[in-house]
Amino acid sequence: MLAVIGIALLAVVIGTLIWIRNGIKKRPRERMWALFILLIGTAYAIGVQLRLPVPNPVDGVTFLFKPIYTPIISWIEEGS
Amino acid sequence: MFGSHITGRKKTGGKADKRSVRAEEHEQQQLEGYSKKPLSVSLKDNQVFIQQEMGESQDIIFRSIRLTDTGQTNVLIVYVQGMVDDERMNKFIIEPLHRERYPADRELEPNELTDKLKSHILSIGIVSDIKDWKQFFQKLLLGYSIIMIEGTAKAIAANVVGGERRGIEEPKTEMAIRGPREGFTESVRVNSAMIRRKIRSPKLWMEQWTIGEISQTPVCIMYVHGLADENVLKDLRERLDAVKIDGILESGYIEELITDQKWSPFPTIMNVERPDAVAGNLLEGRIAILVDGTPFVLIVPSILNMFFQAAEDYYQRFDIATFLRMIRFVSFLIALLMPSVYVAIVSYHQEMIPTQLLLKLAAQREGVPFPAYLEAFIMEFVFEILREAVVRMPSAAGNTISIVGGLVIGQSVVEAGIVSPAVVIVVSFTAIASFVSPAYSLGIAARLLRFILLLAASTLGFYGIALVVLLLLLHLTNIRSFGMPYTKPFAPLKIKDLKDTLVRAPLWLMRERPQKLAVQNPVREQIEPEPRKEPGQ
Amino acid sequence: MSKFAGMNNTQISAVQCAKIFYLFALGSAALILPSAVIAIAKQDAWISMLLAGPFNYLVLALYLSLADRFPNMSLAQYAEKVLGVWAGKAVTFTFVLFFLLLSSLVLRNISDFLGLSVLPQTPDWFIDITFMVVIIYGVFLGIETIARTGEILFAWALFVFIIITFSLLNQFEFQNFEPLLYEGIVRPIKGVYPILGFPIGEFVFLTVILPLVKKEDRPKLRHELNKAVILLIVTGVLLTVFLIGILGVDEAARSPFAVYDMAKNINIEEVLVRVEILVAMVWIATVFMKLVLCMYVLSVLTAQMLNLTTYRPLVVPYSFLLVPLSMIAYRNAAHLKMFAMGVWTVYSVFYGMVLPLLLLVIAAARGKKDGGAGRFPEPPPLDKSVKSGGSEAPGSESLPDKEPSST
């Protein structure tokens, strides 16, 4: 629980810094995207911390490329 | 005491409440005293004005001389006692003026008299005209003697600058075993002359500024035209023009105000006390900045490599010079890393120590109440205090301090079991190593960074050290000094320039000037042939 | 501040490019890869390394010809040119995901390594965060600083390699290499498979870096990169040879960080022992280079995809995403092995070879149709503004950002 608060706090701090910094230099688009990514990252971090079933890209990739690599792996593994 | 004059700098509007009262007054003065108001034709008025301006300070001397018997043509000499050479003034200004006696019918027009004074009577080398009060006070306070004539608003400033100043001595901060024993003094002219004596080329040029609103300090730069990079010169001029501060008391002020990197502990401007070091750098295309009132001359642009070079590397043989350079480099690394490496090994990586040494160290640490990093931190801190104390103590007590520090604190602390002897060894060796770097400014960086590394080592061991070293590397490779990358020639790597870094190649191999410094003139002039072979070989 | 301070953060020399390429390739691969190859090819693993050599050239040639065609544009930009804006952005997006995953895996590698051998009691996330701090600093500072630091690290890495090779010579055993090629050439060929993905497919990062090489250095680029490849092959073969010779096939195939274990064996006169920490520091350096380049490429590609003027605001947010990603990426060591040696190759070959090849082919085909010359010249002013919106500005933006204001 403490970790979640810590993560959220850190995200807020960094978010504020980004907000101020880019606000000064008038770059709203960068700010928006940066905060967006920050949001995703924070959500992900909190999800991981709370052991929620967050999507795992490794599994995603494994799933996508299954048909290709399975035969290759079996060919390589044979005999070893 | 010294901070007050800084408050008046950078006249940004709207910040009036921050400025001191002195700055306010000073601004008033700016409009009145130093304005371009011309002098009055009446000597009496002038005298009254000067006394008003300077608050009737007792060291401003007024000497009036009557050139005619009837008392018409009057000459008034003004000077600051202590800033002029009395003998020269008496002999070459007052005496000749006394000898001028005009009978009533041969009075001269004031303007005629002015001209005659300049061309015939004053036997002084440098003589210039004064047209307004700003020039008047500038010259008066530089040590000139101002001669005013009744009836004309023009005055003459004669250079009889003198007064007691420190003579040319051996530089206190840069000792050399071999090499000239001259060090700079506090006068810009003396210093520039010393440099001229090393480089007797008409291409050695000088440009002068007066920086500091109240202090009016002469600052000048010297460079060899044709060797120095024009872009850097332009940049430097702009930066010097932009400096707005109440007073420049030392070159350190200039250094801080024009430096590239305001936050980095690593210096990007070097300061030297020796004319031969300056001359050497000028010959490589760098620029020297001389500030009146300090013997420390700045060198620009300065990169990391320069701080490991000592002038006498070139006076000794190349093999010993190479050896000493490597020692300097290694000492810097030791000074930076040793305490943190010790802490890292002892706390986290005990397996790295050979077993016998490990046993001894473990025995020493029995009963020591503090963990290793705290020991190291305390001892380092104590040592910094000692160092600062020794600098400030009058020399009579200085010896006592070293005895107290070394024996009492070191020995007793160990015997009391507060600190293990290994830590004392580490800290003292680090201290000695940190004195090796010839440039004090780099040593400062090591002193500060050592503590950060200590912190990193105490939390993360070698990994922490590696991380901080990476951070430092990134920082160092990023910095520039007046456009030149700080880690040249290590990165970007130019093998040809490496011959004057960790090694000092023999003079007869150094055929080219370091690249990018001397763009107009890449090949050094001294293409000496190889040393003569012995006859018969 | 003057115009000179920290001016061009977007120009690197060909030599620097080659050096950072070398360090990237070593990256995390030199730590984990040999054991995987040895697991497959046993004592003929070094032959696999040799066989993989030409693939390096192939892939480099691919990127170089793409770069010849679009000298000042990075992957994101010429993808748009070739496939049209939206399809190009979509492709760039998949690349962004690729680099995101790659970065998190690299971070995971170093975190595992440090957690296992150097700092067993430190929590993973602490190692991750401290490492990321340095990475973020590096990415902020721009490619020129990264390249210069890379030069210094390159020298350090070579120095350490030479030392460990010489200090291990006394423990070399040739028997470990027998029997040679006992199943014929098949084994070594199979051993090439992991190498293809890891690191060869990952070289696609170069597509973003190549346009940043100084113009006057471009002709030298091919030559320098070739030198780097040769050095890379030599290093790979040497490392594998030493691994087999000193640890033996079984040990080497089994331990997760083979080279580190090998370094533990350094023993000179009983005094210079347990200096594997030096090797660890080199790995930290190479992984640092790889990760910093990955993050740099990631940020730059994203910035180009979204048409932002600078990549800098994205760096810290991405790190936020990266740390948890790297912590959950593999569930355990077995999962790591299976994924990194099996699946990853396909994924990275797809992105490293297949997609760029497709781009090249389509560019050639359409080029021929459009311009007739089949090759895009120096981008005209219109493209320059796009370029300055993407490739150049991310670095040059560092000028107003990082300098304190002048007095």
Confidence of residue B509 (pLDDT cuts 50, 70, 90): low
Question: Shortest CA distance to C306 belongs to which of C10, C71, C76, C67?
Answer: C76
Scanning C287-306 for CB atoms below 8 A from B yields 288
CA angle A68–A71–A73, rounded 5-degree value: 100
* Pairing of the two strands B74-80 and B144-149: antiparallel
User: What is the arithmetic mean of pLDDT over C100-127?
Assistant: 85
Confidence at residue B290, expressed as pLDDT on a 0 to 100 scale: 93
Give whole-number Cα distances, B69 to B43, B72, B107, B503, C100, in Å. Answer: 18, 8, 10, 76, 99
Q: What single DSSP character describes residue B351?
A: G
Q: What is the residue whose two structure tokens read 């190291």?
A: B376
Question: Does B491 contact C4 at a Cβ distance shorter than 8 Å?
Answer: no
- Cβ(C296)–Cβ(C319) below 8 Å: no
Residues 6 or more apart whose Cβ sits within 8 Å of residue C15: B492, B493, C151, C217, C220, C224
Mutate to test the interface with C, among A9, A14, A58 (most CBs of C within 10 A): A58
Question: Does A79 contact C328 at a Cβ distance shorter than 8 Å?
Answer: no
Among A30, A49, A58, whose Cβ lies nearest the Cβ of C309? A30
Buried b / exposed e over C147-184, threshold 16 CB at 10 Å, is bbbbbbbbebbeebbebbeebbeeeeeeebbeeeeeee
pLDDT averaged over every residue in chain C: 77
Query: Is pLDDT above 60 for B52?
Result: yes
Question: Does C13 contact B466 at a Cβ distance shorter than 8 Å?
Answer: no
Q: Which amino acid is at C267?
A: N
- Cβ(B59)–Cβ(B80) below 8 Å: yes
Confidence at residue C269, expressed as pLDDT on a 0 to 100 scale: 59
Confidence at residue B471, expressed as pLDDT on a 0 to 100 scale: 92
Confidence at residue B113, expressed as pLDDT on a 0 to 100 scale: 75
User: What is the arithmetic mean of pLDDT over C193-209?
Assistant: 85
Query: Is pLDDT above 50 for B266?
Result: yes
Q: Which amino acid is at B180?
A: P
User: What is the arithmetic mean of pLDDT over C234-263?
Assistant: 80
State whether residue B218 is helix, strand or coil.
Answer: strand
Q: Which amino acid is at C60?
A: L
Query: Is pLDDT above 70 for B516?
Result: no
Confidence at residue B209, expressed as pLDDT on a 0 to 100 scale: 87
In a domain, C6, yes or no: no
State whether residue C256 is helix, strand or coil.
Answer: coil
Structure tokens at A69: 């690599």
Query: Is pLDDT above 80 for C190?
Result: no
In a domain, C407, yes or no: no
Indicate which CATH number applies to the domain containing C215.
1.20.1740.10
User: What is the arithmetic mean of pLDDT over C47-73?
Assistant: 84
Q: Which residue has the higher pLDDT, B86 or B311?
A: B86
Confidence at residue C272, expressed as pLDDT on a 0 to 100 scale: 61
Q: Worst-scoring range by mean pLDDT, B218-222, B261-265, C187-191? A: C187-191
Query: Is pLDDT above 70 for B210?
Result: yes
Query: Is pLDDT above 50 for C244?
Result: yes
Q: How far is Cα B84 from Cα B74, in angstroms, rounded to an integer? A: 22
Q: How far is Cα B451 from Cα C93, in angstroms, rounded to an integer? A: 44
Confidence of residue C373 (pLDDT cuts 50, 70, 90): very low
Query: Is pLDDT above 50 for C3?
Result: no
In a domain, C167, yes or no: yes
pTM listed for this prediction: 0.81
Mutate to test the interface with A, among C38, C328, C348 (most CBs of A within 10 A): C328
Element (H, E) at A28: helix A28-49
Residues 6 or more apart whose Cβ sits within 8 Å of residue B231: B483, C4
Question: Does A57 contact C101 at a Cβ distance shorter than 8 Å?
Answer: yes
Confidence at residue B50, expressed as pLDDT on a 0 to 100 scale: 86
User: How many CB pairs below 8 Å do chains A and C form together?
Assistant: 107
Q: Worst-scoring range by mean pLDDT, B2-11, B26-35, B295-304, C303-312? A: B2-11
Highest mean pLDDT among B161-170, B457-466, C378-387: B457-466
Q: How far is Cα B280 from Cα B276, in angstroms, rounded to an integer? A: 6
A-chain residues near C310 (CB < 8 A): 27, 30
Q: Are chains B and A touching, using the cut-off of 8 Å on CB pairs and a minimum of 3 such pairs?
A: no
Confidence at residue B526, expressed as pLDDT on a 0 to 100 scale: 41
Question: Shortest CA distance to B146 belongs to which of B77, B210, B215, B195?
Answer: B77
User: What is the arithmetic mean of pLDDT over B333-341?
Assistant: 88
Please write the tens of the pLDDT for every residue from B367-418: 777 788 888 888 888 888 877 877 777 766 666 777 777 777 777 777 777 7
Confidence at residue B9, expressed as pLDDT on a 0 to 100 scale: 38
Question: Shortest CA distance to C338 belongs to which of A64, A67, A74, A51?
Answer: A74
Buried b / exposed e over C39-74, threshold 16 CB at 10 Å, is bbbbbbbbbbbbbbbebbeebbebbbebbebbbbbb
Among C40, C321, C346, whose Cβ lies nearest the Cβ of A37? C321
C-chain residues near B492 (CB < 8 A): 13, 15-16, 148, 151
- Cβ(B228)–Cβ(B289) below 8 Å: no
B367: left (phi over 0), alpha (psi -120 to 50) or beta: left
Q: Which residue has the higher pLDDT, B151 or B429?
A: B429
Sign of the torsion formed by the C-alpha atoms of B77, B79, B82 and B84: negative
The C-side interface with A (CB below 8 A) comprises: 39-40, 42, 97, 100-101, 104, 183, 190, 193, 302-303, 306-310, 312-314, 316-325, 327-330, 335, 339, 342-347, 350, 400
Q: Which residue has the higher pLDDT, C370 or C53?
A: C53
pLDDT averaged over every residue in chain B: 78
Query: Is pLDDT above 60 for B317?
Result: yes
In a domain, C275, yes or no: yes
Question: Does C281 contact B462 at a Cβ distance shorter than 8 Å?
Answer: yes
Highest mean pLDDT among B279-288, C7-16, C66-75: B279-288
State whether residue C371 is helix, strand or coil.
Answer: coil
Confidence of residue C392 (pLDDT cuts 50, 70, 90): very low
Confidence at residue C379, expressed as pLDDT on a 0 to 100 scale: 24
Local mean pLDDT, 10-residue blocks, chain A (80 residues): 78 79 70 84 82 78 79 68
Confidence of residue B447 (pLDDT cuts 50, 70, 90): confident
Q: Which residue has the higher pLDDT, B358 or B328?
A: B328
Among C101, C310, C313, whose Cβ lies nearest the Cβ of A18? C313
Give whole-number Cα distances, B62 to A14, B80, C139, C404, in Å. Answer: 68, 9, 68, 50
**Distance (Å) from the C-alpha of residue C11 to the closest C-alpha of chain B?**
11
Q: Which amino acid is at C175?
A: Q
Query: Is pLDDT above 60 for B529?
Result: no
Q: Which domain holds residue C21?
A: 14-402
Element (H, E) at C78: helix C75-83
User: What is the arithmetic mean of pLDDT over C231-250?
Assistant: 83
Terminus-to-terminus CA distance in chain A, angstroms? 47
Confidence of residue C161 (pLDDT cuts 50, 70, 90): confident
* Domain count for chain C: 1
* Chain C residue closest in CA terms to B234: C2
User: What is the arithmetic mean of pLDDT over B477-505?
Assistant: 75
ipTM of the predicted assembly exceeds 0.90: no
